[in-house]
A = this chain, B = another copy of it.
Amino acid sequence: MTIRYPNGKVFQGKDLISSGRSTSPTLYGNRGMSLEEDLQESNQYYLIQNIAVVHKKPTPIQIVDVHYPKRSAAVIKEAYFKQASTTDFNGVYKGRYIDFEAKETKNKTSFPLQNFHAHQIQHMQYVVKQNGICFVILMFSSLNEIYLLPAEKLFYFWERKESGQRKSITKTEVEENGYLIPIGYQPRIDYIKVINEFF
């Protein structure tokens, strides 16, 4: 079942009842998983190995109506998706606060900035001011390349867009300002390795 946000984007949350646990070992062989699933598996690996504690936040929902059937669980009968005011992932690595958003594009030559919302940029600015480790994970899915771009760099490109200039980050700019994240087996997306080296 494909679930879509009001803006038409596909909802890929793990909140769906049929999605199961990302920790299931049978999933590891599954190629073509979503960026989000790969990140959740990586986080699970970090957790079990005592490397870091990072979780995806639940999808924010606005609840309007709830029913209470006798002798069974409360059922939400009317609710709506809300736009997140923060980023999707946060946690702790060696005492430091980590905060990031992950996005993917099928483009090969640039990364569209419309993937981010003003609220998220604002949140990342607050985090950077508090000296948190803040970044975005950008996946070029057609190229199978994943980059970690520090938030400060993203702010520059965001401001450029806000000033009426180009609405995306060129692939070359991502390469020059970001770090290629190794893709492996366990963890699938080893972003902590990049943090360890460059932050």
Contact = CB atoms under 8 A, between A and B. Distances in A.
A76 B68 contact: no
Contact of A80 (B13, B57, B75, B91): B75
Interface stretch (A24-32, A45-53, A100-108, A136-144): A45-53
A60 B96 CA distance: 25
A79 B79 CA distance: 8
A80 B78 CA distance: 11
Interface string A103-129: 000000000000000000001001101
Interface residues of A, number: 55
Interface string A73-97: 1111111111001100011111111
A30 B90 CA distance: 32
7 contacts: A50-B126, A58-B60, A61-B63, A73-B80, A90-B90, A95-B131, A96-B97
